[in-house]
Amino acid sequence: MKRLIMLAALTLGAASATPFVHPADRTVSKPSDVKMGGTLRMTVAGDFDTYNPLVAQGRPNIPELTDAGGLLGVDPYTYEYIPYMAQSFTQSKDQRTFTFTLRPELKWSDGQAITADDFITAMKIYSSDEEANLFSYFTDGGKPVTFKKLGNLQLSITFPRATVQNLETISYITPLPDHVFGKAFGAGGAAGVKAVRALWPIDTDPSKLVVSGDFKVASYKRGERLTLVKNPYYGQWNKDSAGRPVPYMDGIQYSIVKDLNAQLAQFLAGNVDLFSPSNRDQLAQIVAAKNAGKLAVDVLANAGPLGSVDYLYFNWNKSSDPFKQALFRNPKFRQAMSQLVNKDQMIDQVLGGLGVAAWTSVYPLYSDWVAPNVDKYKYNPAAANKALDALGFKKRGADGIRVDSKGNRLSFTLVTNSENNRRQQMATIFADEAKKAGVEVKTNFIPFNQALEIIYPSANKTDRKFDAAITGLNGGGFINPVGVASIFECGGDLNGYNQSDKCIAPWETQQLNLFYKSTAEFDQEKRKAISNQIQQLQVENEGYIYLLSQNGHYAWDSRVQGESPKKIATPLWASLYFGVRDLDLTWLSK
Amino acid sequence: MQFIPTFVLSTLVLFFIVQAAPGDFLTQLSQNPRVTPERLAQLKINYSLDRPEWVQYLRWLTNFVQGNLGTSFAANQPVWDLVGPRLWNSLILVIISTVLTYGIGLLVGIYGALRPYSIGDRIASVFAYFGLGIPSFFFALLVIFGLVTLKQNTGWSIPITGKSSGALQNAGFFVSGWDVFLHALAPSIVLALRSISSESRFIRGQMLEVMGQDYIRTARAKGLGSNRVTYKHAFRNASLPLVAGLGALLPALIGGAGFVEVVFAWPGLTPLLLDSLGNQDLYVIVSTTALATLLYIVGNIISDILLAAVDPRIRFS
């Protein structure tokens, strides 16, 4: 009898098996055209530092390249969240609790089943590890997100509030292998966090790594190459519209090529398959080679502004330098600085005209959401000079730099990351304009990870070491494009100007409250109205001085097939690494 | 035996210069959320940072002599694990470019000395001045542009960047070796260009000077063959300063391959050093520079031995 029940259960399990099927309208290729095999060749600018998803910083990073995603995915045509690793989900009446049933075929790259335990472990760790990227998503207004295992393949997640972003948050939650991370995390606490963060340093034997994604690490040689190969277990729960397992390709190789010119050269020589030109010159070289018949490539130029923005901000937490701290906290000073930012010149000189000015936390990509009249403090050196006079910086020293009545020079250092030419050029253009207005801006270009450590120190957050910085953001959602909590929270993970846990200016609190209100507003038009209010506060106070968004361009070797159809081949749905394509549905014609 | 005090003195100066810079690597590390206070405390003990600087130096020197170069903080790996493969990679470029330099440079130089101011000599001179005048990294960019154009127009694929082909992951020793050689060719030629230019001009000048000496005239008067006079008598004497300069070759692999490695994405020592400077990965900087010093000393010893081999007046007692 026991055997009979077990058999019945197994049969039932098999009958209810539903792998994720990639819809046919996600690719221009018909399933019958597809060729299997081959290796996609790519370049990456720097070395990778870890295999551990909790420790990984910077992009791209290996964990991000090798994880499958989360419980939910998005339909790019309808903008609706759809089940992905989950087979199905339900939402409670109060819209706070989501219950998921996982697909029974889910497997890790070592063949072990992906179960509710893996998601529960991941959420336990993400919500305990303050340094984890997802940490801030596990609290809302000081209350924690709770989660419960309901069965081997069932779990529920309950949010403190019903917000429009909860589904988005769930889509970010990637599982961690319980049999590795859960084991190390043990009883949790600081010791557990420490133990999981110590896992999988970069010298780990790749065969010991356990991932969920379509590709897994085969080898990594510092300074040379990262080789990923197909994870055969992934195809057991991911099929194309014809029912064949994906991905089609055998692997991906990332050659480490630091120099951007060399990266372009490799693409122009046909040695690399994908390239995203970042300026007019690069685009022109590719198009010229294509038009001359020297290179078999496809180019999608000016696909629209990218889902990213660069911004300049001042450090409000500089207790060791009260003069600068007070200056940087003064909105009139920041408004003046905003009026010294010549965005037209930046777009023209830095991006060759292929970009769009940004004014608020809403990326220009979501043009419908950008509030009206947001260019209040646009480039206006005369107004900036007047404002600086009014701030008491009237006199100019022998070097032309303004000083106040106490002899304080109007001088600060602007840092940005040395790997990013675009930001460096913008910093230089700003410094030149500022100098004309009697403001000394010393530029300092340092490596990205180091810049992150200076801007977001783990300790002594009330006395951070930098003056001003240019960094940027990319990613973020389309549900409420005004931003995410960690940008608006005082001391939030992504709040560059104020890392102290207390709000300093009243508008910060106002902005945060409005943001919470917007996330609880399910009516899109009303949500947009709140978003406009937030943007007006941003424009008036210039916590971030938004600079620009560059347009996205994509080029790929013609042997790479299976890109997205035109309607969804926009920067909104393009992958940061693979362009306008879903890697699972990408195939190589030779 | 002079090399021991030379090494000690140079590393001492190096160590104290690095230590004299504001902060130390732990100051920088303390900003890194990935490094725990326990780890910092452990590192302090490991490197005796609470001790006087001379004790720290002795500790570092003892470790260095025993082959322990310290730990890279950016890579969280022993420095030697990072530097070893990079050193070998840089050596590949230096070896190939040295062979090219001496193979081509000497021939061009001797040709110019034997037929001074001929059309061939003039053409060689023009190329030599071009080679001396153009910065290596710029020439490297031109070469990359040339290789891309070549590939686009003819389909000939000469590797442009990197050290190996992604397609050859598990190839045999000879296939891999050939692949690496092909990848090393373009950066080696770029590296060799300047040296070929200078060495050819140098040997030409030396040869012209020696060829005018009395003993050469005597040799010719005695009826010795032209080749014998040129290569056995004239070239041997003319090449002495060249041999003396060979010692600079080994350390040149650290400083010399330089930006050419960066432009060609060759995983040599210079990109590592640049990254380390960027990351303030100080033990990589100190130990690698100490290795360069060691190579300089070894290079000088090799040049002394070579000089003794070609110059009968020099003998080790």
The answer as to whether A546 is a domain residue is: yes
Measured at the CA of B314, the angle between CA B309 and CA B317, to 5 degrees, comes to 105
CB B160 to CB A294 under 8 A?
Answer: no
Q: Name the residue among B30, B163, B279 with its Cβ closest to that of A224.
A: B163
Q: Identify whether A251 is part of a domain.
A: no
Which of A203, A271, A461 would you mutate first to test chain B, the one with the most B CBs within 10 A?
A271
- Provide the mean pLDDT of chain A: 91
A491 with A361, same domain: the answer is: yes
Which residue in B25, B28, B29, B34 has the most chain A C-beta atoms within 10 A of its own C-beta, making it the best mutation to test that interface? B34
In the predicted structure, residue B2 carries a pLDDT above the cut 90:
no
Beta-carbon neighbour count of residue A135 at 10 Å? Answer: 17
Residue A207 has a pLDDT of 95
Distance of alpha carbon A360 from alpha carbon A376, whole angstroms: 11
CATH number for the domain harbouring residue A326: 3.10.105.10
- Answer yes or no: is A133 within a domain: yes
Confidence grade of residue B24 (pLDDT, cut at 50, 70, 90): low
Is omega for the bond preceding A247 within 30 degrees of 0, making it cis?
yes
Contact B176, B159 (CB under 8 A): no
Residue of A227, A289, A450 lying closest to B169 (CB–CB): A227
How confident is the model over A294-314, as pLDDT tens digits?
999 999 998 989 888 999 999
A197 contacts in chain B (CB < 8 Å): 34
Chain B residues touching residue A270 (CB < 8 angstroms): 151-152
How high is the pLDDT of residue A3? Answer: 46
Tell me whether residue A118 is in a domain.
yes
A194 contacts B166? CB cut-off 8 A: no
Q: Which two tokens stand for residue B147?
A: 């290789």
Is residue A385 located within the same domain as residue A510?
yes
What is d(CA A9, CA B256) in angstroms, rounded to the nearest whole number? 70
Q: Do A227 and B166 touch (CB under 8 A)?
A: yes
pLDDT grade, residue A16 (50/70/90)?
low
CA dist A215 and A247 (Å) reads 8
Identity of the highest mean pLDDT range in A44-53, B272-281, B306-315? A44-53
**How does pLDDT run across A446-469, given as a tens digit for each residue?**
877 678 778 888 778 999 989 999
Any residues with CB less than 8 A from the CB of A52 and at least 6 apart, and which? A63, A196, A197, A199, A200, A201
Q: Which tens digits make up the pLDDT trace of A473-492?
A: 887 778 899 998 888 999 98
Q: Say if A514 falls within a structural domain.
A: yes
The answer as to whether A127 is a domain residue is: yes
Residue B170's Cβ-count burial label (10 Å; 0-12, 13-18, 19+) is: exposed
Domain boundary among the residues A139, A168, A201 is at A201
Residue B213's contacts (CB-CB under 8 Å, 6 or more residues apart) are none
CB-CB neighbors (< 8 A) of B275 in chain A: 46-47
Say if residue A382 is in the same domain as residue A516: yes
List the single residue in A197, A223, A289 with the smallest CB-CB distance to B267.
Answer: A223
**B288-309 average pLDDT score:** 80
In this predicted model, which residue has the larger pLDDT, B77 or A184? A184
Q: Which residue has the higher pLDDT, B183 or B224?
A: B183
Whether residue A190 sits in one domain with residue A339: no
Amino acid identity, position A469 = A
Query: What tens digit of pLDDT does each residue of A233-246 get?
Result: 999 999 999 999 99
Structural domain ending residue among the three candidates A137, A171, A201: A201
For residue A131, list chain B residues with Cβ-Cβ distance below 8 A. Answer: 33
Q: Are residues A445 and A315 in the same domain?
A: yes
pLDDT tens-place string over residues A94-120: 999 999 999 999 999 999 999 999 999
- For range A20-40, the mean pLDDT: 94
- Residue A7, pLDDT above cutoff 50: no
Do residues A367 and A503 share a domain?
A: yes
Cβ contacts of residue B85 below 8 Å, gap of 6+?
A: A222, B267
CA-nearest of A10, A22, A15 to A237 is A22
A52 and A191 fall within a common domain: yes
Residues of A in contact with B77 (CB under 8 A): 202-203
Query: Residue A13, Cβ neighbours under 10 Å: how many?
Result: 12
How far is the alpha carbon of A126 from chain B, nearest alpha carbon, in Å? 16
Three-class HEC string of B228-292: HHHHHHHHHHHCHHHHHHHHHHHHHHHHCCHHHHHHCCCCCHHHHHHHHHHHCCHHHHHHHHHHH
Q: Which of A324-328, A409-413, A543-547, B251-255 has the lowest mean pLDDT?
A: B251-255
* Closest Cα in chain A, distance from residue B172 (Å): 17
Average pLDDT over residues B208-231: 79
Q: Which residues of A touch B152 (CB under 8 A)?
A: 268-270, 289, 292, 294-295
Cβ–Cβ of A225/B34 closer than 8 Å?
Answer: no
The pLDDT of residue A8: 40
How many distinct structural domains can be found in chain A? 2
pLDDT at B58: 83
Buried-state track B212-228, b at ≥16 Cβ within 10 A, e below 16? eeeebeebeeeeeeeee
Our CA-based measurement puts residue B235 at a distance from the nearest CA of chain A, in whole angstroms, of 42
| Bond from prior residue into A60 cis (ω within 30 degrees of 0) | yes
What is the widest separation between alpha-carbon atoms in chain B?
A: 82
**Token representation of residue A41:** 């060749």
Nearest-CA distance A18 → chain B (Å): 36
Share of chain A above pLDDT 90, in %: 72
For residue B265, is it left (φ>0), alpha (ψ between -120 and 50) or beta? Answer: left
Q: What is the pLDDT of residue A435?
A: 96
Range(s) of the domain holding residue A171: 48-201
Residues in B lying within 8 Å of A, measured between beta carbons: 28, 30-34, 36, 74-77, 81-82, 85-86, 141, 144-145, 147-148, 151-153, 157, 160-164, 166-167, 169, 262-265, 267, 271-272, 275, 278-280
Q: Which three-class secondary structure string do you get for chain B?
A: CCHHHHHHHHHHHHHHHHHHCCCCHHHHHCCCCCCCHHHHHHHHHHCCCCCCHHHHHHHHHHHHHCCCCCEECCCCEEHHHHHHHHHHHHHHHHHHHHHHHHHHHHHHHHHHHHCCCCHHHHHHHHHHHHHHHCCHHHHHHHHHHHHHHHHHHHCCCCCCCCCCCCCCCCCCHHHHHHHHHHHHHHHHHHHHHHHHHHHHHHHHHHHHHHHCCHHHHHHHHCCCCHHHHHHHHHHHHHCHHHHHHHHHHHHHHHHCCHHHHHHCCCCCHHHHHHHHHHHCCHHHHHHHHHHHHHHHHHHHHHHHHHHHHHCCCCCCC
- Do A65 and A278 meet the contact criterion of CB atoms below 8 Å apart? no
Q: Quick check: A294 and B166 CB within 8 A?
A: no
Average pLDDT over residues B203-213: 83
Contact criterion met (CB < 8 Å) for B152 and A222: no
Domain boundary among A532, A550, A568: A550
Is A442 in a helix, a strand, or coil?
strand
pLDDT tens digit string along A113-163? 999 999 999 999 999 987 777 887 898 878 999 999 999 999 999 999 998
Q: Do B161 and A262 touch (CB under 8 A)?
A: yes
Confidence band, pLDDT 50/70/90 cuts, at residue B279 = low
| A273 lies in some domain | no
Report residue A2's pLDDT band, with 50, 70 and 90 as the boundaries: very low
Which pLDDT does position A51 carry in this prediction? 94
Domain assignment present for residue A245? The answer is no
